[in-house]
């Protein structure tokens, strides 16, 4: 009963064995995988994958750095594509802010606020990237009307984590929790009902030097279960229920 709420199955890393990766995920007990678009090309691919594989669902997004390369007309064209396909997707993402890759905070915030408005109008969950921009992401989302926020691979300090948690936001925990004290502490500090599991595949593998895959969600479940003093079966069931509540109600 595993679920991967954030990965990138369309990336070229999977071009040679995508079918095998999906089959191995199924055998490992993965019931659902959300593959996230980051620009127009990958949004189209995410939709294609969701049609091809029964366990794959698509979220369509515009990565903050990709957005900086677009003009207003191009951005609106991407928004229109998302609107047109709203009934075929499970959420909006990957979107957000990234101050590590670009210090153009003003434009990034403006773009993020436009995406939030789009998400509000579609009444969909949002999956948010927040590298080196955690405080701004939480502050901007705080004033939004989005009911279901998923903070992907959230690296903010525990003060910001508490604020996001108090606002009812959810956190998707990556596989590298097995050697990340930050994510161990995050899991220890938030309620299980606000937790999801992700791989960010092909990145953040629990086995250093290897490509990450959805089947590796099992590593995350094992670590969360230890921290929360639950069985792995109990942990899987609760997190899958969280996924259903956030993405399918």
Model confidence pLDDT, tens digit, residues 23-41: 999 999 999 999 999 999 9
Question: How high is the pLDDT of residue 13?
Answer: 96
pLDDT in tens, 161-218: 999 999 999 999 999 999 999 999 999 999 999 999 999 999 999 998 999 999 999 9
**Distances from the Cα of 112 to the Cαs of 34, 55, 69, 117, 137, in angstroms?**
21, 29, 14, 9, 9
Q: Round to whole Å and give the CA distance between 202 and 77.
A: 28
**This prediction's pTM:** 0.96
Cross-strand partners of 98: 131
Phi, psi for residue 27 in degrees, rounded to 5: -65, -30
Question: How high is the pLDDT of residue 192?
Answer: 97
Inter-residue contact 119 to 92 (CB < 8 Å): yes
Inter-residue contact 5 to 197 (CB < 8 Å): yes
Question: How high is the pLDDT of residue 147?
Answer: 92
Interval 64-88 mean pLDDT: 97
Asked if residue 222 has pLDDT above 90, the reply is yes
Confidence band for 101, pLDDT divided at 50, 70 and 90: very high
Interval 143-163 mean pLDDT: 97
Cross-strand partners of 35: 7, 58
Structural domains for the chain: 2-248 (3.20.20.140)
Question: How high is the pLDDT of residue 6?
Answer: 98
Asked if residue 249 has pLDDT above 90, the reply is no
Q: Round to whole Å and give the CA distance between 198 and 228.
A: 18
User: CB under 8 Å, gap of 24 or more: what pairs does 215-218 form?
Assistant: 215/2, 215/21, 215/24, 215/25, 215/27, 215/28, 215/30, 216/175, 217/2, 217/3, 217/4, 217/28, 217/30, 217/175, 218/2, 218/28, 218/29
Confidence band for 139, pLDDT divided at 50, 70 and 90: very high
Asked if residue 82 has pLDDT above 80, the reply is yes
Question: How high is the pLDDT of residue 156?
Answer: 97
Asked if residue 136 has pLDDT above 80, the reply is yes
């Amino acid at each position: 009963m595993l679920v991967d709420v954030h990965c990138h199955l369309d990336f070229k890393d999977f071009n040679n064995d995508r079918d095998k990766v999906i089959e191995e995920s199924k055998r490992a007990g993965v019931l659902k995988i959300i593959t996230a678009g980051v620009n127009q090309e990958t949004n189209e691919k995410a939709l294609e994958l969701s049609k091809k594989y029964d366990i794959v669902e698509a979220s369509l997004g515009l990565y903050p750095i990709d957005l900086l390369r677009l003009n207003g007309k191009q951005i609106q064209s991407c928004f229109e594509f998302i609107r047109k396909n709203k009934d075929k997707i499970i959420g909006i993402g990957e979107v957000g802010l990234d101050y590590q890759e670009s210090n153009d905070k003003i434009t990034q915030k403006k773009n993020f606020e436009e995406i939030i408005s789009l998400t509000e109008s579609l009444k969909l969950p949002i999956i948010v990237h927040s590298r080196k921009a955690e405080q701004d992401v939480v502050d901007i989302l705080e004033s939004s009307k989005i009911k279901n926020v998923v903070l992907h691979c959230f690296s903010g300090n525990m003060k910001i984590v508490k604020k996001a948690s108090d606002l009812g936001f959810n956190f998707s925990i990556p596989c590298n929790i097995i050697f990340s004290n930050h994510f161990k502490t995050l899991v220890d500090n938030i309620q299980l009902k606000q937790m999801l599991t992700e791989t960010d595949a092909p990145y953040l593998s629990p086995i250093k030097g290897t490509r990450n895959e959805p089947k590796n969600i099992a590593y995350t479940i094992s670590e969360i279960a230890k921290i929360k003093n639950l069985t792995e079966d109990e942990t899987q069931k609760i997190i899958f229920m969280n996924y259903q509540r956030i993405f399918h109600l």
